[in-house]
Amino acid sequence: MRYVLALFLVLGLTVGSFAKVPPAVTAKVKKIVNGKAKIMGVEPLPIKGLYVVFLKTGERVGSIVVSEDGKYVVLGTILKVEDTKRPENVVVEIGKKKGYLKPPAPRKVDMSAIDLKGTPRIGKKDAPAIVLYFDPTCPFCKRELATLRDMEQKGEIAFYPKYFIVHGEKAREKAIEAECIREAHGNKAYYDYILEGKKPSKAVKCDRKAIEKRISRDEKEAVKLGIRGTPTWIYNGKMYVGYRPEKEIKRIIDKSKK
């Protein structure tokens, strides 16, 4: 059990009131924690027989999932894939709804450190512009890109797609191919490829070396800015980490206008 808690503390797993929780769950959690972390709350998951436990140690908030009989502990991500294009992290959504999880405060960014030369601006010229750093194979990056696409198509925002590859060479190759498709066939084909995996029927021609150079520049830039994961986006000199839904993006933009 010490290993389970230690792993939670090391990884800082992102994910309280007690609901009607079986005694076996409560007992198991108390045994695992052993006073080394505060139990914020236990909530039932939409999966029968599983409960999520929100824990806090210092400033870190994390979670573990425990079975109804207390015999099994699950460490990892539980995704709701009813919409496979926009998977939902069940634990995180519960944590936000119940108030256990709060997005990290935005960090100030020197906008002069961001090189937009050669980076396409997608959206209207007069729309508020977001700089998005993402990996095209990251599920939550795709979800954020889909959100930005919907807002861009409604004329609400514009954005600059930049790349921070965290999933290896296959992800890098997809980023290069996506940019080739965008250059040759436009934004719709770009979205279709990243979000749907659809490739244009016509052959794609582009300046691959220039794209590779730009992606390499984006990655080095992201490291200098202190970006550690994806998606991360920057607006009005502030950095926002992790997926943000449309409602929250609108709130951030509206707040900056005041």
- The CATH number of whichever domain residue 114 belongs to comes to 3.40.30.10
Smallest CA-to-CA distance from 218 within 127, 146, 130, 134 is with: 134
Domain boundary among 98, 130, 146: 98
Residue in this structure with the two tokens 């503390």, named with its chain if needed: 9
Residues 147 and 191 grouped into a single domain: yes
Instruction: Check: CB of residue 107 under 8 Å from CB of residue 204.
Output: no
Residues 8 and 115 grouped into a single domain: no
Residues 92 and 120 grouped into a single domain: no
Give the C-alpha separation, 163 to 138, whole Å: 11
Instruction: Check: CB of residue 63 under 8 Å from CB of residue 13.
Output: yes
Give the C-alpha separation, 88 to 143, whole Å: 9
Residues 161 and 240 grouped into a single domain: yes
Measure Cα distances from 169 to 136, 172, 196 in Å: 12, 5, 20
Give the C-alpha separation, 15 to 100, whole Å: 8
Q: What residue type is 71 in one-letter code?
A: K
- Number of alpha carbons in the 13 Å side-chain half-sphere of residue 23: 0
CATH number reported for the structural domain that contains residue 72 in this entry: 3.10.450.70
Residues 138 and 245 grouped into a single domain: yes
Give the C-alpha separation, 93 to 103, whole Å: 12
Range of the domain at 16: 2-98
Give the C-alpha separation, 79 to 91, whole Å: 8
Residues 143 and 244 grouped into a single domain: yes
Helices 208-225 + 168-185 axis angle, to 10: 120
pTM above 0.75, yes or no: no
pLDDT for the residue 69: 86
**CA angle in degrees (0–180, nearest 5) for 203-134-59:** 165
Residues 85 and 123 grouped into a single domain: no
Taking only Cα atoms into account, the Rg of the chain, rounded to an integer number of angstroms, comes to 21
Local confidence pLDDT in tens for the 258 residues of the chain:
444 444 444 333 333 334 467 788 878 778 877 777 888 888 999 999 999 988 888 777 888 898 888 888 887 788 888 877 667 888 888 888 888 887 778 999 999 999 999 999 999 999 999 999 999 999 889 999 999 999 999 999 999 999 999 999 999 999 999 999 999 999 999 999 999 999 999 888 899 999 999 999 999 999 999 999 899 999 999 999 988 889 899 999 998 876
Residues 76 and 115 grouped into a single domain: no
pLDDT for the residue 70: 84
Residues 198 and 237 grouped into a single domain: yes
Residues 112 and 156 grouped into a single domain: yes
Give the C-alpha separation, 246 to 230, whole Å: 17
Query: Phi, psi (5° rounding) for residue 90?
Result: -60, -45
Residues 152 and 251 grouped into a single domain: yes
pLDDT for the residue 20: 63
pLDDT for the residue 85: 66
Domain boundary among 98, 128, 160: 98
Domain boundary among 54, 72, 98: 98
Q: How many separate domains does the chain show?
A: 2
3-state secondary structure of 214: helix
- Number of alpha carbons in the 13 Å side-chain half-sphere of residue 103: 15
Residues 75 and 115 grouped into a single domain: no
